[in-house]
Structures are given as C-alpha cells and as structure tokens.
Structure 1
C-alpha cells in the first residue's frame, strides 16, 4: 500500500519531477510535426506588431541588449543579474504581446497536450490547457 502511495503521484504528475515539463509549444502539432522555431518567431513578430509604437521600440531595444549581453559562465542571463530593472521591463513588455495561440492555429497547428502535462503542477500548465482548449481540433 505504501508503494502505491509513492507510485500513484508519479503517474499523475507524468514523471516531470527531474527536468520539469516540456514547454507548451511542443504540443502544437500539424501533420504529426511540432511547430518550428521559424513559425513561432513569425507569430511572435506578428504579436509584437500589435504593440504601441513606443512599447515596440523599447522592447526591440531591450531584446537587442539582451542578445548583446549574452550569458555568464554559469548559464544565467547577464541582463538578469547585472541589469535587473531593464530585465524586469523586458519581461513586462514581453507580457504585453498577445497570445500566439490564434496565430499557430491559423497556420494549421492544433494544441495536442496530453492530460498528464495539463495536470502537472510545475508551472501554468493547467491554465495553458484551459486557454488552448478551443485550439484542439
């Protein structure tokens, strides 16, 4: 009985305990293939074009700064550690971009996340599944 209590939660969580669950974009599928980086970037740029001009220009500046600064030897973002205010602004402006789900759907992709992923509690998986439910078929 004790072993069942240990095994059951692992089955429910989908065994994502060590690495965390995969990103939601891995479940956007068309003809058995996952959405490509190029198509995700296309949708990102389309979403970014909906921002106010001032916000878009500032976000593009911060994106370039983020890329220029790169990463430290331990793998963390230099912008995040040395310029936390700019990093927070970058995150805030990124959040203003509307969801890419409709764009993915318009490109012919469908959201096919398994139930185990949707129920995993290591992030916003449940929220993402509920939001993307209308893009399943």
Structure 2
C-alpha cells in the first residue's frame, strides 16, 4: 500500500511541476544518447549562430524589446527564426535529434508550434 501511495505522490508532484513551472525549453528536447545539447557542442553551435548574425540583427537583439517599433519587432522575429534554424541545423549535424519528452508536444500548446517546426529533425 505504501508503494502505491508513494507512486501517486511522485506522479502528482511531477504533474504540478509541469503545470506551475512549465515545460522544459526546446533546447532540452534535442538529444544525443539521451543527453541534451551542452558543453563543447553547445559552444560550437552558438559560435556558428553568432558568426552568421548581421550587424542589424545584433542591433535588434541587444535593443530593449519595449523600445522596438512594430516593424523592428517583425524583423527581429524573422531574424530569430533564421538563427534558430542555423543553431538547430548545427546540432543536427553534430548528431543531436529532436526527441521531445512525452507530453511536450500536446495539441494546442505553445510547444506544438515548435514540434511542427522541428519535426524534420526527428530521425
């Protein structure tokens, strides 16, 4: 009886964490041998992304979001999408695959858009 109670308690706490803290970030869903991007591989992809940034993109990234005009917000959004593809393309080349945790891609969640965007990197 105590084992069942302990099991339900653990499941309840995990569910509460997901509900109140939120799901883990998309970078933690890229895994190689069960481990997400970190260390030297993270730095390699980060450097590749930073080298591909134009001066305008660096300016938009460093400017306070509240000070951006609507046109700059759209420009920054497109820039971030492009840089994400460069970063995760690098991760894919290094052997990482998009393998989201169980339940991370639930229908109707914000993560669902990310799952659609990166589904080509699953294999």
Q: Could you tell me the TM-score, scaled by structure 2's length?
A: 0.61
Verify: 1:20 aligned to 2:22, yes or no.
yes
Change (3 A) 1:92 1:110: closer
Give unmatched runs, 5+ long, in structure 1. 1-10, 67-78
| C-alpha separation in 2, matches of 1:45 and 1:26 | 19
Contact 1:29 1:35 in 2 (8 A): yes
Which is richer in helix? 2
Match of 2:31, SS state, is strand
Change (3 A) 1:58 1:21: same
Change (3 A) 1:135 1:27: same
Verify: 1:107 aligned to 2:91, yes or no.
no
Q: Could you tell me the TM-score, scaled by structure 1's length?
A: 0.56
The aligned counterpart of 2:9 is: none
Instruction: Point out the more displaced range, 105-114 or 34-43.
Output: 34-43
Verify: 1:127 aligned to 2:113, yes or no.
yes
* Structure 1 residue 29 displacement after superposition: 1.2
| C-alpha separation in 1, matches of 2:104 and 2:120 | 17
Give unmatched runs, 5+ long, in structure 2. 1-11
Contact 1:21 1:120 in 2 (8 A): no
